[in-house]
Amino acid sequence: MNWQSAAEFWAMGGYGLFVWSSFGLCLAVFALELLSVQKRNKRAIQRARAEAQSRTSQDHRSLA
């Protein structure tokens, strides 16, 4: 498609509301997924550190 102006581009031949809201929704979902992955990663690292610390403290007790 060729647009003669920026307004025609944003209107997308009358489908602009659908097109741009779809892009916005996708962007929001991607952002939420990114935040969710970061949060799960942080929790997994914390759990792994706690487990490693628990194992080392159990090892020290068994040596005593």
Q: Write out pLDDT tens, residues 16-33.
A: 999 999 999 999 999 999
Distance of CA 2 to the CA centre of its chain: 35
Q: Which residue has the tokens 């970061």?
A: 38
Residue 1 placed within a domain = no
Q: Tens of pLDDT along 22-61? A: 999 999 999 999 999 999 999 999 999 999 998 887 766 6
Residue 10 placed within a domain = no
CA distances from residue 31 to 9, 26, 48 in whole angstroms, order as listed: 25, 9, 26
Question: How many folded domains does the chain comprise?
Answer: 1
Question: Domain span at residue 23?
Answer: 17-63
Long-range contacts of 51-57, Cβ-Cβ distance < 8 Å, separation of 24 or more? none
Residue 6 placed within a domain = no
Instruction: Note the pTM of the prediction, 2 decimals.
Output: 0.68
